[in-house]
Amino acid sequence: MHPLPPYAALLGLSTARGEDGKLLWVMPFREQVVGRPGFLHGGAIAGLLEFAAFGCVYEALGGSEGVSVKPINVTVDFMRGGVELETYASGEITRLGSRIANVHAVAWQQDRDKPIAAAHMNLLLRRPS
Amino acid sequence: MNRPDLSKMKGFDPELFTAYASQVGHGGALGILYHDHGPDWVELALDHDEKLIGVAETGVIASGPIISLMDMATSMAIWVKLDRFRHQATLDLRVDYMRAAKPGSRIYGRGECYAIRRSVGFVRGVAHDGDPADPVAHVAATFMFTKP
């Protein structure tokens, strides 16, 4: 696992393993992630979703040394306001190609079946030639 | 600084709003600054800061802070166009990353509101690191009004 960059620390992120063994991202509710009073900032949720998307790609690449992963684009849908609770996110690869990874990430709070936001992300992979 | 009662405020002052938003919550943690505005656009800025770095090896800013910057700039573009604050929620936001920002540079986020309908505001914008003609990212988003 790559060490988490400074922006992940600003969001207060940590990682865990879900019951299904999948990588889970956890963001505590605290001042640094608040938007309007009492609710999460959309940008903080989007940041969390991006880490979940990147994380599952790095994990799938496993030991592939020297592969760089760059974002091409991200589309975030906001479904519910994020309230004063921990937020979880996990990513799932739709397709891992040689040059492109298509990833879907979901964020939820108490109930995984009630997502607060989801992201679709396309990532560019550069493998050492 | 106390939170101004936005719904009672006459017109909408993006400079005053940013002064408040840059002291609390996520906007405060990032250090978002007011830069300029017009009748349907707002430009905010984000100074380089170690804590915003997304890739430690290159020193390139993470994409998350750029999303937050653009979410705020486009959101405020709706309020300057309406000339009042109105409660709204981001419905969706898309970012196309043209290139990595130059390490150490100040990032500008310019949001423009091009249409307001009964329930939805439509916005677009660019993030750049000095030259708006050579953007770091393009953004399109929609906001849904949650109160009259």
Instruction: Tell me if residue A20 falls in helix, strand or coil.
Output: coil
- CB contact, 8 Å: A74 with chain B? yes
Which of A55, A32, A58, A38 is closest to A106 using CA atoms? Answer: A55
pLDDT tens across A77-100, in order?
999 999 999 999 999 999 999 999
* CB contact (8 A) between residue A6 and residue B52: yes
Buried b (16+ CB within 10 A) or exposed e, B28-63: ebbbbbbbebeebbbbbbbebeeebbbbeeeebbbb
Closest residue to B67, CB basis, from A3, A43, A77:
A43
What six digits make up the tokens of A80?
A: 């519910």
What DSSP letter does each residue of A48-89 carry, written as one string?
HHHHHHHHHHHHHHTT-TT-EEEEEEEEEEE-S---SS-EEE
pLDDT tens across B86-111, in order?
999 999 999 999 998 888 899 999 99
Closest residue to B63, CB basis, from A6, A41, A71:
A71
Residues of B in contact with A53 (CB under 8 A): none
Closest residue to B92, CB basis, from A32, A43, A75:
A75
H or E stretch including B64?
helix B63-82
Q: What is the mean pLDDT of residues A39-68?
A: 90
Question: Do residues B109 and B125 touch, judged by C-beta distance below 8 A?
Answer: yes
Residues of B in contact with A51 (CB under 8 A): 64
Measure A115 CA to nearest chain B CA, in Å: 14
ipTM of the predicted assembly exceeds 0.85: yes
Which of B143, B147, B118, B115 is closest to B7 using CA atoms? Answer: B147
- CB contact, 8 Å: A12 with chain B? no
pLDDT tens across B4-41, in order?
667 677 889 999 999 888 888 888 888 899 999 999 99
Q: pTM of the entire structure? A: 0.92
Measure B148 CA to nearest chain A CA, in Å: 18
Residues of A in contact with B97 (CB under 8 A): 70-73
Strand spans (E) along chain B: 32-37, 41-46, 53-55, 60-61, 88-97, 107-116, 120-128, 137-145
Fold type of domain B14-145: Thiol Ester Dehydrase; Chain A (3.10.129)
* CB contact (8 A) between residue B3 and residue A70: no
Residues of A in contact with B24 (CB under 8 A): 31, 34
